[in-house]
Amino acid sequence: MMTPRADRSDNNRPQVSVVVPMFNEEANVRTVLARFIESLSAQRRTFELIVVNDGSRDGTGQRLDELAGGEPRLRVIHFARNYGQTAAMMAGFWASRGEVIVPLDGAGQNEPDEVQRLVDKLDEGYDVVSGWRKYRQDSWLRTRISRVANWIIGRITGVRLHDYGCTLKAYRAHMVKDARLFGEMHRFIPIYTSMHGARICEMVVKHHARTAGVSKYGYGRIVKVALDIAQVRLLQKYRTKPLHFFGKITQYAWLGTLACLVFATINAGWLLAAGGGWDAAWAAFWGKAPLVGAIFFVLGWIAIMAGLVAELVMRSGFEYCQGRYWEEARHVNFGGSPPESPMSLPREQVEPRREEIVNR
């Protein structure tokens, strides 16, 4: 199956692409999308509305097809099964044609009138404008848990936002179209963009209570979010140097080995000084401490081997971009074309031909 891509030959490309993931939202399809189209049509910029049906098992897909038949600005992607919100958002991002991408919640809890405000804020020089549901219309417990989670995420990653979970955000398309997100990483997209040098700001946006349908999120996702935070932090700090991460494990493991040996030596020396004799001191030295130290030592070697494997995987992973793992914001005096990686050039342009070397 081919990856959905934007139609680059379209001369009537919209200025804003609005992406809406939906899953089992039959009760909301008509009212929510009608409201979105009405609001976006009244705004200054041209738009397209991309709805990703994430394998809905109710009548969501049929309702979407009916609406798309009479509205050419509405484009629909149907998943074969439920893949999750992250996959739905990525599919919408890849299919978008606008210079700005704005996700909206499929339940209608985000206010579409805010799209113009967020895009105007982008024009002030930002790459990401994140919505903040300051007056969130959800239960008290869910709101408090969300605040704690947002504080923890900001503290760990250094990207401080009040509301990571707000779907309503505005992105410059080039910041997210090449992203590769898996699992449930959609809430961490601002962190991924910050890893590529994005300038991020935050705006207070309106939030509405759900009026129909059932929420797809429960308190069981707390553990998943905690694991995702650990993964994001690992990628944020060690994405291009995984051996450093495993090297720290080796460092602490071998320090544990040294501590065990020191403890065993002191224990044996104390017993010898107390007149226990060499046999008793030797038996005391080879107690449990050296065994624990040996386990730490082996753990350190395993960590080093895992780090070397991770380095090989990382380097092969970056081959698709010719080894370029950094983002270049702009170029000066390069004649309109950015510098190319030597790996993307023909071999004869990178290395002198063998016969030329022989003739030197």
- pLDDT tens for 256-276 read 999 999 988 888 888 777 777
Q: Please indicate, yes or no, whether residues 147 and 223 belong to a single structural domain of this protein.
A: yes
239 or 50: whose pLDDT is higher?
Answer: 50
pLDDT beyond 70 at 245: yes
pLDDT at 351 (0 to 100): 45
In a domain, 126, yes or no: yes
Interval 161-201: pLDDT, tens: 998 888 899 999 988 887 777 777 888 899 888 888 889 99
What's the CATH code of the domain at 209? 3.90.550.10
What tokens appear for 133 in the block?
């549901």
Are 52 and 91 in contact by the 8 Å Cβ rule? The answer is yes
Q: Please indicate, yes or no, whether residues 74 and 221 belong to a single structural domain of this protein.
A: yes
Query: Does residue 228 come out as left (phi exceeding 0), alpha (psi in the -120 to 50 range) or beta?
Result: alpha
- Mark which of 175, 210, 238 sits at the end of a domain: 238
Is 45 exposed, middle or buried (CB count within 10 Å of its CB: 0-12, 13-18, 19+)?
middle
pLDDT beyond 50 at 317: yes
Interval 131-151: pLDDT, tens: 998 888 877 888 888 888 889
Q: Please indicate, yes or no, whether residues 231 and 315 belong to a single structural domain of this protein.
A: no
pLDDT beyond 60 at 212: yes
Q: Please indicate, yes or no, whether residues 253 and 167 belong to a single structural domain of this protein.
A: no
The total number of structural domains that make up the chain:
2
- Mark which of 207, 238, 269 sits at the end of a domain: 238
pLDDT interval class at 318 (50, 70, 90): low
- Mark which of 238, 261, 283 sits at the end of a domain: 238
Q: Please indicate, yes or no, whether residues 129 and 273 belong to a single structural domain of this protein.
A: no
In a domain, 344, yes or no: no
* Strand partners for 47: 16
pLDDT interval class at 350 (50, 70, 90): very low
pLDDT interval class at 9 (50, 70, 90): very low
Domain membership of residue 117 as a residue range: 16-238
As a whole number of angstroms, the distance between CA 35 and CA 47 comes to 14
Interval 118-136: pLDDT, tens: 999 999 999 999 999 888 8
